Amino acid sequence: MIAIYPGSFDPITLGHLDIVERGSRLFDQVIVAVLKNPNKTPLFTMEKRLEMIQQAIDHLPNASVDSFHGLTVNYAKIRGATVILRGLRVLSDFEMELQMAHTNKTLADSIETVFLATSNEYSFLSSSVVKEVARFGGSVDHLVPTHVALEIYQRCSVKTPLE
């Protein structure tokens, strides 16, 4: 069974990685699907996000990364996926994600949405939080993989907290 885990992943966080790792134990294949969203101004280019995600998931033999644009269900059909994997942090996530799951079900009845509750240690974590902390010179080492933290420090033109 193939699952896709869609999102902008700008940048990938340890919370995202936790969902991918747990999903890889549940499904035959997990595709981290990076959405090209024209309504967002990302910190990182698509190419850089794909590179950082690939490095973060290299240890998972049944996980891969790809990019797409358009509707998630259409991308899922193209890839032969029958599951859309989503992580839930807080109640407000659930409301939005449930609405999206219902919408996707009306568009593609054969594709199910599976929610994984975020692990406690990542329940507060989002890419937006990571970017905000970094912009103000805070450490993000405990929020993202090491190679991603280095990219963030370089991109935000701040010294690493250890310097």
Query: Which pLDDT value is given to residue 159?
Result: 54
45 pLDDT more than 90: yes
The reply to whether 104 falls in a domain is yes
The reply to whether 8 falls in a domain is yes
Where does the pLDDT of residue 44 fall: very low under 50, low under 70, confident under 90, or very high at 90 and above? very high
Q: What is the DSSP code string of 104-136?
A: HHHH-TT-EEEEEEPPGGGTT--HHHHHHHHHT
The reply to whether 155 falls in a domain is no
49 is catalytic: no
- Residue 126 to residues 46, 88, 118, Cα–Cα distance (Å): 18, 11, 11
127 is catalytic: yes
The reply to whether 129 falls in a domain is no
The reply to whether 80 falls in a domain is yes
Question: Known binding site for substrate: residues?
Answer: 8, 40, 72, 86
pTM of the shown model: 0.91
The reply to whether 25 falls in a domain is yes
160 pLDDT more than 90: no
65-122 pLDDT, tens digit each = 999 999 999 999 999 999 999 999 877 788 899 999 999 999 999 999 999 999 999 9
111-158 pLDDT, tens digit each = 999 999 999 999 888 999 999 999 888 999 999 999 999 999 988 875
40 is catalytic: yes
- Residue 110 to residues 43, 80, 84, 100, Cα–Cα distance (Å): 34, 11, 11, 15
CATH of the domain at 80: 3.40.50.620
The reply to whether 52 falls in a domain is yes
- Split into its structural domains, the chain has a count of 1
> Both tokens of residue 56?
């973060």
The reply to whether 110 falls in a domain is yes
| Catalytic site residue from 24, 49, 127, 131 | 127
Distance of CA 122 to the CA centre of its chain: 13
Find the domain containing 51 and state its range. Answer: 2-120
| Catalytic site residue from 22, 48, 79, 89 | 89
- Residue 127 to residues 111, 122, 134, 138, Cα–Cα distance (Å): 26, 11, 11, 14
